[in-house]
Amino acid sequence: MEKIRYRREQELIMKYVSGKMAIPAVPGGGKTFILSRLATKLGINLQEEEEILILTYMNSSVNNFKNRIMELLKKQNKYELYRKFQVKTIHKLGSDLLRKYGDEFGITEEFQVMTDANKYYLMSLVVMEYRRDKPKDLDFFLDAKYGGTNTQVRWNKELINLTLKTISIIKNNEITAKKLYSYSKKYRKDSLLRVVGELFYRYDMKCKKNGSLDYDDILFYTHKLLKQSVFLVEELKLRYKYIFEDEAQDSNVLQNKIINLISNGNLVKVGDPNQSILGTFTSSSPEIFKKFIKSNPKVEMFTAGRSTKSIMEIANYLVKIVNFKDTFESVKTALQPQIIKPVLEGETPSNPKIDKYGINTIKVLGWEEERETLIKGIEIFINKHPEKSVGILLPTNYMIDEVARIFRGKKIEFQIISDIPESLLEVMNFLGDFLEYLARPFENKRLIKLLENNFFIEEEKEIKEIIMQFIKINALEDIFYSENYPKLNEVLLKKYKSVLKKIRAVLDLNQSSLEKIIVFIGEIFEIQDEKRLLIEKISYDLKKILKYNPKWSLLDLASNLKKAKNSEFSYIAKAVEEEFILENKEKFNITLSSYHRSKGMEWDFVYLVGVDNRTFPVKLNEVNYGYCYYLKKEYEYPQIFVEREFEREFLNRDTEMGVVKNKLDKLAENIRLLYVGITRAKEYLVISGNVENGIYFLGEIEKYIRGRNELKS
């Protein structure tokens, strides 16, 4: 291996030879860098049949590790050793084992892995079928004050999400759908677990019929396989001389059991408990990694070169607030007392340095003021620093969409990190606008909206006004079938005629088959690649969607297409993304993201929006995650209720049905989410919050900055 000057903690890690080692690491500590080098060093001395297994939880991390190891081996002219490194997600490891040895469970090697998108879609079908068969079972939980179809639809969507998460918890406790169903079907109608039990059973039957396994199934059956096959476990122990687990704070019970079964004792776990932010959506638990740290030799990687010293001070101050202020006594373990240390002078890579203090706090009154302040601030920054990367973290999809709309209008280039790529959202909005127009083709305002939003976005305001005014004062027949046109230059007139000709072709099409119309729209407007696949999938599944939403009008369909991230169409867009492997590679300097999605990212300038008590609550009565006002009082927090009911019935009869513990868990996770947001910044950081919601964290950080500046002056 080439000569390199390691920092002290890196030297200790590189001395590892065998046994267990925990590496708690801070953001920007260079864990991928040092793990790749340690793995390469150990790999050179492996015996013929031995390998190193590196487990991580993201495909992007898999590729990152593979590329780094490959480069290191090339530099040493030992490329032939590359086969000795197995870099996989835990689910890839499990699916490989099941394809080879899963026949005793009736699992053939041709089984399909169910993506999260397809899992959501399948469960949505199950819930809709259940409502069709037993509507009274579901409506029993609704508060009589909130009747009607809209409430039922809202409850259906909540059931999809809570059932999927509960299934994950149930499988982690190694309980099958059949076992849960056999117990829960005997429960009274006021049991939410009874409903979840039947939904799980129906979902499981559909998975088996389709020959599909979801990610939780893979872990469930992999663990079952390993428990029953002593010879396979011994074979894997001999093969994998070393196992490295990356992002260990995101591990769950079954993942941990699988790793322990196949480990021969040479196990290295790396992670950051302070970046454990997936508990809301998954069954992960930071406690597993915390216990590993306490019970095994550890090397702390608390030195980081990502951020300026000022930004690290803010992150460290947040850790101190939580650990030592009485306000957080009930959740003081939310952040481990890990203090990020700057790189020593002369060591590399050194921390960034800027000419002035790069942190600012902004207090606003209401979302509109916060949004306008954000836009102005970003415009000033990109004009002054056009080469810098910018990350804008927002708490809700609604806020992301609002800012994105303004950026488009101002022609500011950006990308969004989300479940659904921006390119696919554009197509769904386009289809929504088109179907809205087809629903009322004689309403010229709908045609104006279609043209303005999709075909004449970049034209000057005066040009748009000419086109829109012409459409306003003319009848449909004159617009499409006469030789009368708005007064435009030759290039724009040609574009206008071409667009109107294509829209007219859609209008002239036989309107009896909506599926064919959607495909035709894709063809005539020459929509290609992943966008074309999306249109074809929407067309293919349209009958199924309308079957379970029989009261939908064309306008309802259009509306749901345009709110794709929270509608029956979201699974289609997610499936297309997964099929095309559309990675959110940075194309532009500005990125919009939710706080959760920002993990693993970094930008020169980070703007944190919504740092107030609504997004980052401090007190129990401020935590409303999972609250459903339309349900009867005892079920207002249905996710909490069904989890506690499951625990009481299957794990611990003394489990209480209260919501306090879950609220405390949510408080703790939100604190870690703020920590993740702060530590994405390399040079500049702006923290903004709405005073009307309360601004505890923003206020504390502001006081810290003021005190720091007073000391210096």
* Residue 471 belongs to some domain of the structure: yes
| Rounded mean pLDDT, 11-15 | 96
Which DSSP string do the residues of 582-626 spell out, in sequence order? Answer: ------SSEEEEETGGGTT--EEEEEE---STTTS--SGGG--TT
For position 459, what pLDDT does the model report? 80
Do residues 603 and 674 both lie within one domain? yes
Residue 361 · residue 705 · CB < 8 Å: yes
Are residues 620 and 552 both part of a single domain? no
Q: 181 falls in which pLDDT band (50, 70, 90)?
A: very high
Q: Are residues 499 and 610 both part of a single domain?
A: no
Report the pLDDT value the prediction gives residue 568, as an integer from 0 to 100. 62
CA-based radius of gyration for the chain: 28
∠ CA 489-492-496, nearest 5°, is 125
- On the question of pLDDT at 43 being above 90, the answer is yes
Last residue of a domain, one of 282, 301, 320: 301
CA 505 to chain centre: 40
Number of compact structural domains in the chain: 4
Print burial letters for 229-265: b (CB count within 10 Å at least 16), e (below 16): eeebeeebbeebbbbbbbbbbbbbbbbbbbbebbbee
Say whether both 480 and 497 belong to one domain: yes
**Residue 262 tokens, joined:** 């196949």
Q: Looking at residue 246, what is its pLDDT? A: 94
Tell me whether residue 478 is in a domain: yes
Answer whether 467's CB lies under 8 Å from 496's CB: yes
Cα separation of 49 and 419, whole Å? 40
Q: Distance between CA atoms of 301 and 190, rounded to whole angstroms?
A: 50
Helix intervals (H) in 134-214: 135-139, 149-172, 177-184, 192-210
pLDDT at 567: 62
User: Average pLDDT in the 238-267 region?
Assistant: 95
Which of the four pLDDT bands, split at 50, 70 and 90, describes residue 37? very high
Instruction: For residue 482, count other CB atoms closer than 10 A to its CB.
Output: 10
Question: Is 163 found in the same domain as 90?
Answer: no
555, 580, 605 - which closes a domain? 580
Least confident interval from 494-503, 559-568, 593-602, 697-706: 559-568
| Best-predicted range by mean pLDDT (44-58, 74-88, 378-392, 423-437) | 378-392
Per residue in 445-489, pLDDT (tens digit) is: 999 999 988 888 778 888 889 999 999 999 988 898 888 899 999
Sign of CA dihedral 261, 262, 264, 270: negative
Mean pLDDT estimate for the chain: 89
**Rounded Cα distance, 191 and 185, in Å:** 10
Q: Tell me, what's the pLDDT at 3?
A: 66
Highest mean pLDDT among 327-341, 522-536, 552-566, 672-686: 672-686
- Residue 2 is predicted with a pLDDT of 56
468 within domain boundaries: yes
Q: Which residues contact 106 (CB under 8 A, 6 or more apart)?
A: none
Side-chain-facing half-sphere of 707: CA atoms under 13 Å: 9
| Averaged pLDDT for residues 138-154 | 88
Q: CATH code at 224?
A: 3.40.50.300
- CA separation for the pair 19, 172 (Å, rounded): 27
Return the H-helix or E-strand segment holding 667. helix 660-678
Residue type, 403: V
CB 117 within 8 A of CB 220: no
Mean of pLDDT values over 557-565 = 75
Residue 243 phi/psi, 5° resolution? -125, 125
Angle between helices 230-239 and 215-228 (to 10 degrees): 100
Supply the pLDDT for residue 28.
93
611 or 103, higher pLDDT: 611
pTM of the predicted model, to two decimals? Answer: 0.82
* pLDDT band (50, 70, 90) for residue 216: very high
Return the pLDDT at 434: 93
| Backbone phi, psi, residue 650, to 5° | -120, -20
Cβ distance 162 to 642 under 8 Å? Answer: yes
Residue at 379 is within a domain: yes
Span 19-30, pLDDT tens digits = 999 999 999 999
What is the mean pLDDT of the segment spanning 648-676? Answer: 86
Query: Which residues are bridge partners to 304 per DSSP?
Result: 342
Domain of residue 659, residue span: 359-418+586-712
59 Cβ neighbours under 8 A, 6+ residues apart: 89
Of the residues 546, 580, 614, which one is the last residue of a structural domain? 580
Q: What is the pLDDT at residue 64?
A: 87
Contact by Cβ (8 Å): 55, 39: no
pLDDT at 696 over 90: yes
Helix, strand, coil shares of the chain, percent, nearest 5, are: 60, 10, 30
Number of residues written out for the chain? 713
600 plus 690 within the same structural domain: yes
What pLDDT is attached to residue 158? 92
Same domain, 448 and 512: yes
Nearest-angstrom CA–CA distance, 28 and 11? 17
Is residue 123 one of the residues assigned to a domain? yes
Q: For the residues 4-15, what does the mean pLDDT come to?
A: 91
The DSSP bridge partners found for residue 363 are 689
Within-domain flag for 31:
yes
Q: Angle at Cα 406 formed by Cα 403 and Cα 410, nearest 5°?
A: 135
- In percent, the amount of the chain with pLDDT more than 70 equals 94
Q: Give the per-residue pLDDT at 582.
A: 46
Tell me, yes or no, whether 413 and 426 share the same domain.
no
Considering the domain architecture, whether residues 435 and 543 belong to the same structural domain is answered as: yes
Beta strands 212-213 and 85-89 are unpaired
- In this predicted model, what pLDDT tens digit does every residue of 531-558 receive, in sequence order? 888 888 888 878 777 776 677 788 888 8
Give the model's pLDDT for residue 590.
95
Closest CA to 243 of 220, 267, 222, 261: 267
pLDDT at position 586 over 70:
no
**First vs last C-alpha separation in the chain:** 49
pLDDT band at 585, cuts 50/70/90? very low
- Does 594 share its domain with 637? yes
d(CA 579, CA 577): 6
Q: How many Cβ atoms are within 10 Å of 467's Cβ, its own excluded?
A: 22
pLDDT band, very low/low/confident/very high, at 681 (cuts 50, 70, 90): very high
What order do you get walking across the sheet with 51-56 strand by strand?
20-24, 267-271, 240-245, 51-56, 85-89
Give me the mean pLDDT over the 183-206 stretch: 93
What tokens were used for 61?
Answer: 């991390």
Q: Is the pLDDT of residue 79 over 60?
A: yes
The average pLDDT across 146-155 equals 85
pLDDT at 510 over 80: no
Percent of all residues in the chain with a pLDDT value above 90, rounded to a whole number:
57
Amino acid making up residue 456: F
Give the model's pLDDT for residue 476: 87
- Tell me the CA distances in angstroms from 12 to 302, 303, 338, one per residue in order: 13, 13, 18
Do 459 and 427 sit in the same domain of this protein?
yes
Banded model confidence at residue 285, pLDDT cuts 50, 70, 90:
confident
**701/310 Cα distance (integer angstroms):** 12
Q: What is the mean pLDDT of residues 412-417?
A: 87
Checking if the pLDDT of 418 tops 80, the result is: no
Q: What is the pLDDT of residue 566?
A: 55
Q: Specify if 320 maps to a domain.
A: no
Bond before 135 cis per omega within 30 degrees = no
Stretch 579-596: mean pLDDT: 72
Mean pLDDT of 320-342: 91
d(CA 51, CA 239): 6
Query: Quick one: how far is CA 296 from the chain centroid?
Result: 32
Q: Is residue 473 part of a domain?
A: yes
**Which residue in the block uniquely carries the two structure tokens 């480069």?**
71
The verdict on 693 and 621 lying in the same domain is: yes
pLDDT greater than 60 at residue 660: yes
